[in-house]
């Protein structure tokens, strides 16, 4: 081999070693960068999935908390209503009225409840046969939207509230066995101002206001039937 050929061979070998020395770390660094990018992408994807899971769980927890709050609020209102009803019964049982007072109040309560019942039935001719009593109306209004809407409309028309009806029904139940109904002309013999009597002798505020409402409903009905007759209207 000539000296020139040997030199060329050594030069090529040196170039190969030089290329191999510098290209191998470059490929390693590129591969390392690619692997790091893949790991970051995978971690980001897992983190996003976890965030979505947490967000879903939070929404479910928030919804459950709202439902629980609504349930507790409903139970609180129910309990409060039950307490008010218990207090009403206790108060009425403690009140002591004379037989005349009971008969007078009972007469107005009876007429008012009959008026309420008849007006509801008039507005529900197709259902009137299934509503023979006021108790049947009150029992069905919670299940039948049509009856409930008519019930609420009649209460508003008469200037009554649900609590008024409850108080008057409670009074009726307590005293119906002992009370005697007085027609309108007989009531005038015992008092010319029933509202003043109610204000003086009825201590329970709810019952007092409800009885005043009953008197107003009855007297308004009498005035409509006989406009020439002078009556005293009671404002709640």
156 to each of 17, 100, 116, 136, how far by Cα in Å?
103, 31, 11, 20
- Residue 224 has a pLDDT of 78
- Residue 208 has a pLDDT of 92
Those residues whose C-beta lies under 8 Å from the C-beta of residue 212, and which sit 6 or more positions away, are 195, 198, 199, 234, 236
- Which of 210, 188, 208 minimizes the C-alpha distance to 200? 208
pLDDT in tens, the chain (236 residues): 555 565 566 656 555 555 554 455 555 566 566 677 677 777 777 777 887 887 787 777 677 666 666 665 655 555 555 555 556 656 665 678 899 999 999 999 999 999 999 999 999 999 999 999 999 999 999 899 999 999 999 999 999 999 899 999 989 998 999 999 999 999 989 998 999 999 999 988 889 999 999 999 999 888 777 655 544 434 33
- Residue 73 has a pLDDT of 61
**What is the distance of C-alpha 219 from the center of its chain?**
35
Task: Decide if 214 contacts 112 (C-beta within 8 A).
Answer: yes
- Residue 236 has a pLDDT of 38
CA distance 47 to 41: 10
pTM over 0.95: no
């Amino acid at each position: 081999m000539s000296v020139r050929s040997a030199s060329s061979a050594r030069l090529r070998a040196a170039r190969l070693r030089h290329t191999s020395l510098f290209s191998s770390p470059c490929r390693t660094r590129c591969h390392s960068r690619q692997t790091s990018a893949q790991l970051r992408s995978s971690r980001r994807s897992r983190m996003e999935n976890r965030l979505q899971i947490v967000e879903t769980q939070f929404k479910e927890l928030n919804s459950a908390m709202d439902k629980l709050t609504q349930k507790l609020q409903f139970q609180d209102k129910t309990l409060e209503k039950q307490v008010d009803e218990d207090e009403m019964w206790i108060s009425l049982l403690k009140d002591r009225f004379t037989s005349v007072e009971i008969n007078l109040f009972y007469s107005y309560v009876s007429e008012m409840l009959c008026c309420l019942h008849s007006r509801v039935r008039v507005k529900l001719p197709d259902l009137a046969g299934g509503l023979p009593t006021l108790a049947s109306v009150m029992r069905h209004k919670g299940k039948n939207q049509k009856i409930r809407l008519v019930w609420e409309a009649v209460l508003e028309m008469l200037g009554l509230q649900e609590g008024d009806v409850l108080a008057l029904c409670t009074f009726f139940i307590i005293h119906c066995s002992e009370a005697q109904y007085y027609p309108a002309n007989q009531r005038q013999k015992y008092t010319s101002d029933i509202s003043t009597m109610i204000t003086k002798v009825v201590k329970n505020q709810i019952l007092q206001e409800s009885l005043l409402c009953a008197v107003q409903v009855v007297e308004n009905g009498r005035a409509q039937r006989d406009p020439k007759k002078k009556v005293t209207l009671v404002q709640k």
